[in-house]
Amino acid sequence: MITERFSAQLLTGEPARSAEAVTRRLLAVQAQDPRGARLAIRARSAGLTAADVDRALTADRSLLVTWLNRGTLHLVAAQDYWWLHALLAPRLVTANARRLAQEGVPPADADKAVAVIEESLAAEGPLTRPQLRDRLAAAGVRTEGQALVHELLLASLRCGVVRGPMAGAQHAFVLARDWLGAPPPFDRDAALAQLARRFLAGHGPASDRDLAKWAGLPVGDARRGLSAIGGQLAQRDDGLVDLAAERRGAGVPPARLLGAFDPLLHGWVSREPILGPHRGIVTVNGLFRPFALVGGRAVATWGLAGGTVTMDWLDEVPGPAQAALAADEADIRRFLGLP
């Protein structure tokens, strides 16, 4: 099962040749850590650089970042944005309203914030987060603490504000309708079927509970989507399902350094096959640390500060695997453009 998931995740087999190809395969890549999202692309592709990801976000308009699955930021292909937004955004409204209240933003001010953000982007966009903060503050809207984040989230829910192009080192916000064009008609049943099919393409084999957890939808919706594509599924002896047409490879990835919030730690109810006893890779406050994968298991956490990679070993790792990780460190430097 785990080797087939490595294949689904593009960690074994033929690597992708573009950032969009990786993102389309995984459907949505966790992106609250910008470097982590880019490193997820690196680990599943060949010959790309972080600049290629930025180009896809900016000049090509083929990728974007916004709040989707479970109310967290995800990198998605532009052509998948509208149906994912229509399917998943309504689930975020209640929690967003609660967080705005906790941040001292009453409903009337929240409405005002959305209006200011939408008007500013329509007239001046793309705009960075500091620029939008200035416009909200000038309008008398609270932006302290986490208020700005949840105001931007509310704007994404109501009027399709997304993180589109890079403005230097910062990710700028745009209106999706201006950046991508008008949304197509939405059919919820068709979207659930597409969600199920695309999830399995990048995460199979899996269960209905895996799909529900990953998407942030009720299990009933996950089952509805899987049922809609029942004729395309292969039922397995372990109770999981996969796309019958997929031909998964076997084997484990070469020793590799994976970034923060790597997709390999998302998508399934249990992370035990990867993490084993090393629970600290996922912290109590919901951070997913960068980790080293050797023999298909997490063996270390790592960091990159001041251009230097530091390792915190969790298991004993043989010399050849350490050498392979050192080579992968060099590839990270190449990818990020570090000396």
Q: What angle do CA 189, 190, 192 make, to 5 degrees?
A: 65
Domain of 43 in residue numbering reads as 2-180
Between residues 305 and 146, the one the model is more confident about = 146
Query: How many whole angstroms separate alpha carbon 55 and alpha carbon 62?
Result: 9
Residue 313 phi, psi (nearest 5): -75, 135
Residue 53 has pLDDT above 90, yes or no: yes
pLDDT tier, 321 (very low <50, low <70, confident <90, very high otherwise): very high
Residue 176: CB atoms within 10 A of its CB come to: 21
Is the same domain home to 217 and 115?
no
Question: Per-residue pLDDT for 336 more than 90?
Answer: yes
Shared domain check, 94 and 51: yes
What are the tens digits of pLDDT across the range 163-172? 999 999 999 9
**HSE of 1 in the Cβ direction (CA atoms, 13 Å)?**
16
Is residue 249 in a domain?
A: no
Residue 284: the pLDDT is: 83
Q: Are residues 18 and 45 in the same domain?
A: yes
* Helix (H/G/I), strand (E/B), else coil: 144: coil
- 200-244 pLDDT, tens digit per residue, is 999 999 999 999 999 999 999 999 999 999 999 999 989 999 999
For residues 82 and 139, state if they share a domain. yes
239 dihedral zone (left: phi>0; alpha: psi -120 to 50; beta):
left
Q: Which of 75, 13, 7 is nearest to 39 (CA)?
A: 75
One domain for residues 209 and 162: no
pLDDT at 166: 97
Please report whether residue 251 resides in a domain: no
Q: What's the pLDDT score for residue 228?
A: 98
CA angle 38, 124, 50 (to 5 degrees): 15
Check whether residue 171 and residue 195 sit in a common domain: no
Q: Is there a single domain that holds both residue 167 and residue 28?
A: yes
Q: How far apart are CA 66 and CA 334, in angstroms?
A: 27
Say yes or no: 176 and 234 in one domain: no
40 Cβ partners below 8 Å, 6+ apart? 22, 26, 29, 30, 258, 259, 261, 262, 263
CA distance 133 to 148: 7
Q: Report if residue 143 sits inside a domain.
A: yes
Average pLDDT score over residue span 254-267: 96
Distances (CA, A) of 298 to 253, 285, 328: 12, 20, 15
In a domain, 99, yes or no: yes
Q: Are residues 61 and 157 in the same domain?
A: yes
Domains: count for the chain: 3
**Are 26 and 32 contacting, i.e. CB atoms less than 8 angstroms apart?**
no
Higher pLDDT, 202 or 307: 202
Residue 7 belongs to a domain: yes
Average pLDDT over residues 294-318: 93
Query: Would you state the pLDDT for residue 247?
Result: 87
261 and 234 belong to one structural domain: no
Residue 73's pLDDT band (cuts 50, 70, 90): very high
Return the bridge partners of 305, or none.
308
C-alpha to C-alpha distance for 251 and 338, rounded to whole angstroms? 31
Residue 92 shares a structural domain with residue 175: yes
Q: Is 280 part of any domain?
A: yes
Q: Are residues 298 and 264 in the same domain?
A: yes
CATH number for the domain spanning 232: value is: 1.10.10.10
For the residues 309-315, what does the mean pLDDT come to?
94
* Contacts with 207 (C-beta within 8 Å, 6 or more apart), sequence order: 239, 240, 241, 269
The share of the chain scoring above pLDDT 70, in percent, equals: 100
Average pLDDT, the chain: 96
Write down the H helix ranges in 103-146.
107-124, 129-138
If DSSP codes are grouped into helix, strand and coil, which group holds residue 163? strand
Nearest to 97 by CA among 63, 135, 39, 147: 147
At 125, the pLDDT band (50, 70, 90 cuts) reads confident
Give the mean model confidence (pLDDT) for residues 308-331.
Answer: 94
User: Does any domain span residue 250?
Assistant: no
Which residues, in sequence order, are CB contacts of 81 under 8 Å at separation 6+?
64, 66, 162, 176, 180
Is residue 313 in some structural domain? yes
Residue 78 near residue 62, CB atoms below 8 Å: yes
